[in-house]
Amino acid sequence: MLIICFLYAYLFLGFLFAIWFAFINPGKGEFGIRHTSLWFRLIIIPGSIVLWPVMLIKIYIS
């Protein structure tokens, strides 16, 4: 039961990060995302949800 709660928390934080990364502050870590279409931003959301810790580290290192 505890693992499921951690999984939900991980996915929820990933969802918040993905929305921030794709829509609120695009270009903070990747400068090429600034001038992309809405469809591209929607496509990168699932990957951002799963890989949000890696992307967050990349943003803070750069």
Tell me, what's the pLDDT at 59?
83
pTM above 0.95, yes or no: no
3-class DSSP string for the chain: CHHHHHHHHHHHHHHHHHHHHHHHCCCCCCHHHCCCCHHHHHHHHHHHHHCHHHHHHHHHHC
pLDDT digits (tens, 9 = 90+) for 27-47: 666 667 778 888 988 998 999
Does the structure show a pLDDT above 70 at 48? yes
pLDDT > 90: percent of the chain:
52
